[in-house]
Amino acid sequence: MEDYLNRQPKKRARLLLVKAVLAFGLILLVVLVIIGNGKGSATWMTSMQLKGEKFTVAELVQDRVIATNDCMPEIEFLAAAVRRSLKWSGTPAVDRGTPPPGQRHVGWAERSLIGYDGRHLSWETAEQEIAILRDPLNKVHRALNNPTRDPGWDYSIIPMIGSPGNFVAKRVTAQTLGNAMLVELHATNILAAQQHLDALVSMVRVHDQGWTLVNQMIRVAIIGLAADATWAALQAPGWTEPQLQKLQQAWRGHDRIPAMARTLEIERAAGILYFDSVRKRNGGSIFSIGPGGSNSVQLAFEKVIVAPVYELAWSQGDKLFYLQCMQIFIEALRDMSKAKSWKAVRPAIDSQFEDYMRRQTGFFGYRYPMTRQIMPNILKALTTMTKNQTLEQLVLAALAIKRYELGHGELPSDLKALIPDYLLEMPTDYWDGQPLRYRKITTGTFLLYSCGEDLRDNGGSPSVDTIWEAPIWPDHSE
């Protein structure tokens, strides 16, 4: 009896403790619900719609004109032919060393070809390969005279099936066109080299109205490759004014900033569809909730406690935060399209990106899991876009300078001398919104540069500014 009486207070104490824990848990859940609800995403979207924002795929593509031509079969056929005919040199590439800042090796003048696909080939082997590919290359040339703009993708399919646009085929084709150009330049066939280069520049327009971030970044990468190829081509003698004018015309009109803004609008609309589809299918069971980790205790905690709380309290806040993040980035791109300046919009982008990163760590990671899953790497995408947008301006300016030199027998005194005969307007440094920098050098060459990502004009310092590089010619006497 005495033992029974002694056990009763302990039993009551344990029961009181359990009740206290349950009560605390209930209070905590209520607090989390109150904290989590806040301003709803639907209310925010309504207010933004009154300002002209569009949040559905149907609204954003209602005026689209889907292309009836399709250049992808020729691009895919060439890529397949390349894979069948790949050859590798039996000897390793000669280590030419890292060129000094602001300088670059002239690839077509070297002893052997180091291709844009990274392969090292003797010129004889490279010429044989291009000869084998002659027919598919010609078909690609013809197809790219009228490249497919809007591919007609259905952005409401979440996720989009497969890999729309066949990005691998685009990359392989762009690299092959670059290699073919180098082969023809090495053989002093300027006309044939120009045909390959024209087609490579036209690759930038393929699916330029395909509004997915991956597709747009492929286009940005092709611009980088085409700019590199154009630099190499301009080192070759024998160009005529009409040829350079045609090439310059092909380079005009590749403004990716409005395209990137439209892409983020479509990405946002697709993100909304994804949020809603996950909620309908009980989101907590099909995506990772926490900020990381996979031990059984954490997984049980996320499944039993966090997932229900997320569904009840945090999901709308997560959706709202995603929408607000995307809105900041979209508005920054709209402003950048007008100002042509990364410097002008960088503070807003940096601030939003820092807030986004802060909300993906620790306890915040449980509140914004969907945002973490579907938010693209905006900062990297935008800096890469700005870099290659400025690179395009450097290409246009360099082509105009070459044309002026052919026509006048000397370099222009400044970039203003190129307007309007060789340039329609001053070329812009998209990093800071100022005109590109240019000056003649006493050696009969010129310095053309952008301030670069640090947003400071360092006087054309090749280690920090973005320079239109000087050529390094091989010493064939060795």
Q: Is the pLDDT of residue 404 over 90?
A: yes
Q: Are residues 164 and 238 in the same domain?
A: yes
Decide if 65 is inside a domain: no
Mean pLDDT of 243-259: 90
Are 43 and 23 found together in one domain? no
> Is the residue at 387 inside a domain?
yes
- Name the pLDDT band for 348 (thresholds 50, 70, 90): very high
pLDDT score at 160: 57
Highest mean pLDDT among 356-360, 363-367, 455-459: 455-459
433 in helix, strand or coil? coil
Residue 82 in any domain: the answer is: yes
Least confident span in 68-72, 166-170, 362-366: 362-366
Mean per-residue pLDDT for 105-126? 93
Residue 477 within a domain: no
Q: Are residues 331 and 284 in the same domain?
A: yes
Residues 272 and 295 reside in one and the same domain = yes
What value does the mean pLDDT take over residues 128-143? 96
Number of H helices, E strands in the chain: 18, 7
Boundary of a domain, candidates 316, 348, 376? 376
Do 99 and 234 sit in the same domain of this protein? yes
pLDDT at 383: 94
Residue 363 and residue 332 share a domain: yes
Residue 419 belongs to some domain of the structure:
yes
Q: 205 and 146, same structural domain?
A: yes
Higher pLDDT, 305 or 177: 177
Residues 286 and 310 both lie in one domain: yes
- pLDDT at residue 4, as a whole number: 45
Lookup: tokens for 401: 């300078």
Residue 427: phi and psi, rounded to 5, are: -70, 140
The model's confidence at residue 96, banded by pLDDT at 50, 70 and 90, is low
**Weakest-pLDDT range from 11-20, 106-115, 175-184:** 11-20
CB 148 within 8 A of CB 67: yes
| Burial class of residue 409, CB neighbours in 10 A (0-12, 13-18, 19+) | exposed
Domain for residue 125, yes or no?
yes
Mean pLDDT taken over the chain: 86
Cβ contacts of residue 388 below 8 Å, gap of 6+? 220, 221, 223, 224, 227, 256
Query: Does residue 169 sit in the same domain as residue 139?
Result: yes
The boundaries of the domain holding residue 460 are: 72-254+382-472
Identify the pLDDT of residue 283: 45
Is residue 38 pLDDT above 50, yes or no?
no
Name the residue with tokens 């060459």.
Answer: 445
Residue 67 inside a domain? The answer is no
User: What is the reported pLDDT for 280?
Assistant: 63
Q: What is the mean pLDDT of residues 369-391?
A: 90
H helix or E strand, kind and range, residue 437: strand 437-440
Distances (CA, A) of 22 to 25, 298, 313, 319: 5, 20, 19, 30
Other beta carbons within 10 angstroms of residue 133's beta carbon come to 19
**Based on the domain organization, do 332 and 229 belong to the same domain?**
no
Domain final residue, candidates 360, 376, 392: 376
Q: Could you tell me if 173 and 220 lie in one domain? A: yes
- The total of structural domains in the chain comes to 3
Work out the pLDDT band at 98, boundaries 50, 70, 90.
confident
User: Within a domain: residue 346?
Assistant: yes
pLDDT bracket for residue 1 (50, 70, 90): low
pLDDT over threshold 60, residue 36: no
Task: Assess whether pLDDT exceeds 70 at residue 86.
Answer: yes
Residues 318 and 357 in one domain: yes
Binned at pLDDT 50, 70 and 90, residue 286 comes out as very low
pLDDT number for residue 360: 80
Residue spans of alpha helices (H) in 304-368: 307-309, 315-339, 342-358, 364-367
The answer, yes or no, to whether residue 24 has pLDDT greater than 80, is no
Three-class SS state of 81: helix
Lowest mean pLDDT among 19-33, 46-60, 175-189: 19-33
Length of the chain: 478
- Mean pLDDT lowest among 25-39, 58-72, 159-173, 417-431: 25-39
Q: Which long-range contacts (CB under 8 A, 24 or more apart) does 152-161 make?
A: 152/64, 152/66, 152/67, 153/210, 153/211, 153/212, 155/57, 155/60, 155/61, 155/211, 155/212, 155/266, 155/269, 155/270, 156/57, 156/58, 156/270, 156/273, 158/270, 158/273, 158/274, 158/277, 159/274, 160/212
